[in-house]
Amino acid sequence: MRLKRTACIAAIAAMATAGLAACGNGDDNNSKGDGGSGGGKIKGKVGIILPDTKSSVRWENFDLPVLTQEFKQAGIPADIQNAEGDKQRMQTIADQMITNGVTILAIVNLDSASGAQIETKAKQQGVQTIDYDRLTLGGSADYYVSFDGTQVGRVQGQGLQKCLGDKKSNIVYLDGSPTDNNATLFKNGAHEVLDKVTNYTKVAEQAVPDWDNQKAATIFEQMYTQQKGKIDGVYAANDGLGQAAISILNKNGQAGKVPVTGQDATPQGLQNILDGTQCMTVYKPNKQEADGLVKVVTALAKGEKPQTNGTAEDPTGKRQVPSILLQPIGIFKDNVKQVITDGGVKASDVCKGSYAAKCKAAGIQ
């Protein structure tokens, strides 16, 4: 696997021990369609089910195109679909994929119970399964490919602290979906950092069901009213939840005065950072995650054992799942450019209209 130079820097730390990262000129070395890991012949076809189109723009705008391209380049037939937030639909898609000859199935679960069911059913039909991005608790996935979720939370916590300074501050938490194991890891990582700052007081914390941005705005507005506006910092688990908080702060003339965190380095999150209404976001290069999945799928399709660089604990299933875990990157106003030069987001998606001047000022374009 070859990674683009910038992506490579982050990947090295996480993957060097497993020998997974190779840095070069950004060209992929999989042009022969051998998936880059030598050896046997690729047999079979992979099915990938993404969760929804609303909890983050990443699934349709980043993961779908990047996965499509990466699997094409690796010469592995891939059927990639989106469950649109419907658990039953995800099961139906999985059933259809298996009927149509998928031999390896990767899912981003909508919750652990439904994910585990899909994996059990797949297993019964001889299909190997992989958890992509979200670990299915109590599931039976053979492998897990993701970013280190606790580290994502730490980067968010450190980011909020950087933007707030150590002054006396009331902090509220808008956590991700209670059914998403990642959301638990993110908030644990954030608490690990922020709870140590004695000047910070947590005045409210709530999980946002299904990462629903509308519900996040309602929840944040209630927090704001209850605290009589005395909120100094907002931990928001991703850019969508961050935007919900910013919209309410804006209504109250406070946007830009109260630092808000995020995740996913979405065009809107990056624009908010350039505006100064969002303190930071977390960049998780999709190409690295897709590469990780391609690597695991390629090995499985050749009947080989995939290389991993760690394990993820499933406390429900009481097992350690062999994993590829990648390192996230904190993005602030001074390194928004990094996401664009790395190819994570197109400059044209961020630097539109009034953002052209702000991009210029930030050294972009």
**Is there binding between residue 210 and ligand BGC (CB under 6 A)?**
no
For 99, the enclosing helix (H) or strand (E) is helix 87-99
111 or 133: CB nearest ligand BGC:
133
**Is there binding between residue 63 and ligand BGC (CB under 6 A)?**
no
**Is there binding between residue 180 and ligand BGC (CB under 6 A)?**
yes
**What is the contact mask toward ligand BGC in residues 247 to 266, using x (rule: CB under 6 A)?**
----------------xx--
Sequence-distant (6+) residues with CB within 8 A of 245 are 174, 216, 217, 220, 234, 236, 260
Ramachandran area for residue 228 (φ above 0: left; ψ -120 to 50: alpha; else beta): left
Residues 270-309 that bind ligand BGC (CB under 6 A): none
**Is there binding between residue 133 and ligand BGC (CB under 6 A)?**
yes
**What is the contact mask toward ligand BGC in residues 335 to 354, using x (rule: CB under 6 A)?**
--------------------
129 or 177: CB nearest ligand BGC:
177
129 or 182: CB nearest ligand BGC:
182
Rounded CA-CA distance 259/156 in Å is 11
In the complex, the smallest distance separating the C-beta of residue 238 from ligand BGC, rounded to whole angstroms, is 4
CA dihedral (187, 346, 358, 250) positive or negative = negative
Rounded CA-CA distance 348/351 in Å is 5
* Of positions 6, 30, 37, 55, contacts ligand BGC by CB under 6 A: 55
**Is there binding between residue 154 and ligand BGC (CB under 6 A)?**
no
Residue 315 burial (CB < 10 Å; 0-12/13-18/19+)? exposed
In the complex, the smallest distance separating the C-beta of residue 29 from ligand BGC, rounded to whole angstroms, is 28
* Of positions 4, 134, 154, 187, contacts ligand BGC by CB under 6 A: 134
Residue 170 burial (CB < 10 Å; 0-12/13-18/19+)? middle
Residues in the chain: 365
**Is there binding between residue 211 and ligand BGC (CB under 6 A)?**
yes
**Is there binding between residue 58 and ligand BGC (CB under 6 A)?**
yes
Rounded CA-CA distance 128/119 in Å is 8
Taking a C-beta distance cutoff of 8 angstroms, is the pair 237, 174 a contact?
yes
128 or 238: CB nearest ligand BGC:
238
Largest CA distance in the chain: 65
Residue count, binding to ligand BGC (CB under 6 A): 12
| Interacting residues toward ligand BGC by CB under 6 A | 55-56, 58, 133-134, 176, 180, 182, 211, 238, 263-264
